[in-house]
Amino acid sequence: MQTAIMIVANYPLYIRSVPTQGELKFHYTVHTSLDVVEEKISGVGKALADQRELYLGLLYPTEDYKVYGYMTNSKVKFVIVVDSSNTSLRDNEIRSMFRKLHNSFTDVMCNPFYNPGDPIQSKAFDSIVSTMMVQAF
């Protein structure tokens, strides 16, 4: 089953997809999903932005995938792409996956040797993502 997890700050910070051969397609999918993210956050008023729900929900439907979005307060977007035939993952599961990712991402950001904006190269983060992908898919 095809899945991908991406961390994006308008440009990719971290990409992991299974299987790897169709990666380019995932990249395009995630890239185009940013349109929806942008539209979603522009719709939210300034005052509400503070209490904004970080989880953006299902971004857009395609025949083959479901694309879910999440945005941190620092405007870094997390995108999870799952095969649309995967019915075991419901909204709640996706939500908790995002929360886990966010926690791990925060740890990465706290690393004084990590330069915000650089691609993420962290073993800890890698392993979290790996276990998540094994568990979930």
Binding site for another protein (CB under 8 A): 10-12, 15, 23-24, 27-28, 31-32, 34-36, 39, 59-63, 112-113, 115-118
**CB of 23 or CB of 126, closer to another protein:** 23
Residues with Cβ within 8 Å of residue 14, at least 6 apart in sequence: 5, 6, 7, 119, 120, 125, 129
Smallest separation, CB 15 to another protein (Å): 8
Q: Give the separation between CA 45 and CA 121, rounded to whole angstroms.
A: 35
Q: Which is nearer to another protein, 59 or 97 (CB)?
A: 59
In this complex, which beta carbon is closest to another protein, that of residue 1 or of residue 96? 1
Closest alpha carbon to 116 in 74, 77, 69: 74
Tell me how far, at minimum, the Cβ of 45 lies from another protein, in Å. 18
35/93 with CB nearer another protein? 35
CB of 86 to another protein, least distance (A): 15
User: How far apart are the C-alpha atoms of 91 and 35, rounded to whole Å?
Assistant: 21
Q: Whole-angstrom Cα distance, residue 135 to residue 77? A: 22
The least CB distance from residue 2 to another protein, in Å, is: 15
Nearest to 132 by CA among 86, 91, 99: 99
Q: Please, what is the minimum distance in Å from the beta carbon of residue 124 to another protein?
A: 19
Query: Between 32 and 127, whose beta carbon lies closer to another protein?
Result: 32
Residues 6+ apart with CB under 8 A from 24: none
